[in-house]
Amino acid sequence: MLDPVECERARVGRDARYDGRFFTGVRTTGIYCRPVCPVRPALGRNVEFFPCAAAAENAGYRPCLRCRPETAPFSAAWNGSRTTVARALRLIEDGALDEGTVPALAARLGIGARHLSRLFLKHLAARPTQVAKTVRVQRAKRLIDGTDLPLADIAFRAGFRSLRRFNAVFAETYGRTPSDMRRPLSRRQSGD
């Protein structure tokens, strides 16, 4: 699990080596960030750390629009690891839980669904379905920022079953709708 002292050092120092390995929730703003966020770091007493974006969202935090947690690298801690959790994460990234079920995913990994959920809670502080939900929203956010595709296409490509569901989950995560998020290309490229 995360060492809070190590995370705090990385956060205050904006240490890029930790990017993707943890996220920081700022209690005073309700926003969560990557360690490399360009915004001036919050006071240490106002932050808490999470092992993944889904865990921060479960705790009620919204993704930062400056450091964009959806663009964080796939955690180096999991990358190259052969653990069951890392394999499960890759399968979820590939859409295993967009159509399929947790028991089916667990079966592909050769374990039971409850064991898989326990592993996720232990290592990621989030359930597989919660991680899958965050992954879908993150895919959609990257497509909103990086393409001019119609929102209905983005919903479908990101793995949502309907535009209505996409709008609801996105608004729940970001506190604004996908169309609110869509800005003119010139502003989008300014890095705001």
Nearer to Zn ion, 13 or 112 (CB): 13
164 contributes a contact to Zn ion by CB under 5 A: no
User: What part of residues 75-94 is at the interface with Zn ion (CB under 5 A)?
Assistant: none
Q: What region, left, alpha or beta, does residue 14 occupy, with left being phi > 0 and alpha being psi -120 to 50 degrees?
A: left
Q: Closest CB to Zn ion among 37 and 143?
A: 37
- The answer to whether the CB of 54 falls within 8 A of the CB of 130 is yes
64 sits near Zn ion (criterion: CB under 5 A): yes
- Told to check if 125 binds Zn ion by CB under 5 A, we report no
Sign of CA dihedral 36, 40, 42, 44: positive
Contacts of 82 (CB under 8 A, 6+ apart): none
37 lines the binding site for Zn ion (CB under 5 A): yes
Residue 23 CB-density burial (10 A; 0-12 exposed, 13-18 middle, 19+ buried): buried
By beta-carbon proximity to Zn ion, the closer residue of 55 and 106 is 55
Q: Does 33 bind Zn ion (CB under 5 A)?
A: yes
In the list 26, 42, 56, 67, the residue contacting Zn ion (rule: CB under 5 A) is 67
Residue with Cβ nearer Zn ion (14 or 182): 14
Binders in 126-155 for Zn ion, by CB under 5 A? none
- Which stretch in 8-16, 56-64, 89-97, 181-189 sits in contact with Zn ion by CB under 5 A? 56-64
SS3 130: helix
Tell me which residues touch Zn ion (CB under 5 A): 33, 37, 64, 66-67
